[in-house]
Chain A
Amino acid sequence: MRETFISIFAIFWKDILSGLRTKEILTSVLVFGLLVLVIFNFAFEPGAGIRESVAPGILWVALVFAGVLGLNRTFDPEKENSCIEGLMLCPVERHVIYWGKLASSLTFMLMVAVIITPIFLALFDLPLFLPRLALIIALASLGFSAIGSLFSALSVGTRARDLLLPILFLPVAVPIIIAAVESTGLILEGRPWGDMWTWLQIMIAFDIIFLVISTLVFEFVVEE
């Protein structure tokens, strides 16, 4: 058990180190997320009247699209110099690789969210301190990386990697997107915890189901 955690951490740390050293993924994903916020501002001209109704959608479109962009790069660097083969040769079970990749893509997603969300709240003149929103972002990011890491490994094995990932990822992520947008709306309206409970349940159920399924099927995706 302990060895499994050490192996997961090793894969996770390798990704984080190379991500932080090159900085290219994090920077481009962040700039992209900010651009989405800015472009939606032109598209909707969020005046005071419709701010509450469109703001959650704008935040989540920015986070989801930035997330897909980042997920595209989860397995892509491994293709260079056939690193993926080295990874597969590691004397660990295949699902350990999945959990390592899941941990690193989740961390990147949260790093992006931690920077984009306050900027979003400031740009739209919303309250800055929203601990409940942090919980929603954490649950949603976990769900996104659970299926995202699986589909990312799948799409790098095809000829159309950058194209296929969003096509696979977005429809499957629909429940999380709905739950995240709805509960963010409730938070911005200042509604109590109880109103959010259904959406939290959906996100927790989604996270658990797809963590289990992905762990089970991941070995079929990377097997050669």
Chain B
Amino acid sequence: MIGDRNPAEDRCPPPGGKSVLWNNALLGLGLALMITALYLVFMYVPTEKTMGDVQRIFYFHVPLAWVAFLAFFVVFICSILYLWKRDAKWDIFARASVEVGVIFTTLVLITGPIWAKAVWGVWWTWDARLTATLVLWIIYIAYMLVRRYTSDEARGARFAAVVGIVGFIDVPIVFLAIQLWRTQHPGALVFEGGLAAPMLLTLMVSIAAFTVLYIILTARSVTLKNLEEAVRRLKGSQ
């Protein structure tokens, strides 16, 4: 059936060539960075004086949170670009990024309480950062639900883009409101130079490793969604 038509019509993203090279280079870089980060976190960096070994989770917790915010920022930008340009490419980017963002936020919400229980003695407090992260997580789960519950593909993309924009703008306001309400989370030590040099190095390497991981996962997800799209087109044109 497929052979009857002009092959250019049902072209899939061609495997091989430059993109595979890029993919492999990225994977290699990600692997190297991740192993280095693990070495630094568990072997190199000195144990924190008051908190002890449990503080090492910081080197995963903070990079995960950073990448989650980066992912949602990408969703925000892609949502604006989609509504503006109406190119399905931006929608696919946003969809891929939101999935990684939600997974990373979930990990932030798991690693945080593990640390908090040991240091603060409680799993959870209604502090600005914690609560804002929780609200953020729910907003982007709602984003994914909007997609799932919309039958029409293009409409789902528009709806999701609207949620992606409103949700991202809402988060700073949520943060501000909760900060005025109560706060307990340690402040941004990193920018005040309150972090010892080996700790800062470990944190930076870890952030780099997780950022590369985010790019790899998002790129994979984009490829997968393009292939799904191609399959749908082929099925539809039978």
Contact = CB atoms under 8 A, between A and B. Distances in A.
Interface string B153-182: 001001101110111011001101110110
A154 B162 contact: yes
A119 interface: no
Contacts of B151: 159
Contact of B159 (A154, A175, A206, A213): A154
Contacts of A52: none
Contacts of B217: none
Interface string A162-176: 011001100110110
Contacts of B149: 158-160, 163-164
A167 B178 CA distance: 20
Contacts of A167: 138, 141-142, 145
Nearest to B143: A168
Contacts of B155: 157
Given A158-B149, A164-B146, A167-B145, A221 B173 contact: no
A150 B181 contact: no
Contacts of A154: 146, 159, 162-163
A217 B159 CA distance: 10
Nearest to A199: B180
Contacts of A206: 173
Give chain B's interface residue range (CB within 8 Å of chain A). 20 to 34
Contact of A174 (B141, B142, B146, B174): B174
Contacts of B216: none
A175 B176 contact: yes
Interface residues of A, number: 31
B68 to A, nearest CB: 16
Contacts of A68: none
Contacts of A223: 158
Given A154-B162, A159-B149, A202-B173, 5 more contacts: A157-B150, A171-B174, A172-B139, A202-B180, A217-B162
18 contacts: A150-B166, A154-B146, A157-B159, A158-B149, A159-B150, A160-B145, A164-B146, A167-B138, A167-B141, A168-B163, A171-B174, A175-B173, A178-B178, A182-B181, A217-B83, A221-B159, A221-B162, A223-B158
Q: Which 10 A-B pairs have the closest CB atoms?
A: A175-B177, A158-B149, A160-B149, A171-B138, A175-B173, A178-B177, A167-B142, A159-B149, A172-B170, A171-B139
